[in-house]
Structure 1
């Protein structure tokens, strides 16, 4: 099983700018293309810079959440500020989180790698904990040696 850890986190809030993902939840290629297109758009039109300007740290969050039976996806930051272009304030609960660390050549590759490991390997093999829904996020934490590094944070419950 890949390296992972379980970590207790305080409740936290991410301010996000989002989009609805229209691909079927099993169409990974379609979902990844939608996510890539979304990131390209928020970088080009300045919305990501607006978020970063009010952030309380340098982390960039890519949040997935089911809202009213829709698959939603957000670019977000930790902040207490408000922005007119923000579409959602995403509440993450206090509790235990599955954490998988990694690094990749690009932000997109990092997100795909971490969610693939967490949802494709760790969670299916976990005997004593499970993901039962709620928002989950990949967190881009910075760059080193030309690589993007970060973590995926998934709220879990003990079985």
Structure 2
């Protein structure tokens, strides 16, 4: 099984700019294509640079959240500022979080890898915690040795 930790986090807010994912939640290829298209767009149109310019730290959040029966995917940052485009304050609750660390060649590879490990391995194998919904995030924290490194943060409860 993948290495993971459980950490206590205070509540925090991420300002996100997002897209509704239209593919079926079991269509991984479709979901990954929609996410890749979204990230290409926010990089090219300057949206990601705008978010980075108002961030309180260097972390870039890739947030997934089911809201109003929609699968949403966001690029986000921690900030007290706002942006001129449609955005959402995504509330992460105080409590325990499943944390999985990793590194990859690109931001997308990191997010996809961490998400796969979390939902494909750890959460299906660990018996004393459960993910009961709410936003989860892949957090890009920086670069070292030519790789992007970061963590997956998933709010969990004890069973």
Q: TM-score, normalised by structure 1?
A: 0.99
Q: How many residues align?
A: 159
Unaligned runs of 5+ in 2: none
Mapped to 2, the partners of 1:121 and 1:105 lie a distance apart of 21
Partner residue in 2 for 1:59: 59
Aligned to 2:70: 70
Per the TM alignment, residue 96 of structure 1 is displaced from its structure 2 partner at its CA by 0.2
Distance in 2, Cα, partners of 1:54 & 1:105? 26
Matched, 1:100 2:100: yes
Cα shift readout 1:62-114 (whole Å, capped 9, x = no counterpart) = 00001100000000000111112142100000000000000001111101100
* 2:28 equivalent in structure 1: 28
Q: Equivalent residues in 2 for 1:2-151 (5 A)? A: 2-151=2-151
Q: Helix, strand or coil for the counterpart of 1:26?
A: coil
SS of the residue corresponding to residue 117 of structure 1 reads: helix
Give the Cα separation in 2 of the matches to 1:66 and 1:27. 16
User: Aligned to 2:150, what secondary structure does the other structure show?
Assistant: strand
Q: State whether residues 64 and 137 of structure 1, in contact with CA within 8 Å, keep that contact through their aligned partners in structure 2.
A: yes
Please give the root-mean-square deviation of Cα atoms over the aligned residues, in Å: 0.6
Under a length normalisation based on structure 2, what TM-score does the superposition of the two structures give? 0.99
Provide runs of 4+ in structure 1 moved above 4 Å: none
- Aligned equivalents of 2:86, 2:12: Cα separation in 1: 17
Tell me if structure 2 keeps the 8 A contact 1:64–1:71.
yes
The whole-number CA distance in structure 1 between the counterparts of 2:7 and 2:85 is 32
Which residue in 1 is equivalent to 2:153? Answer: 153
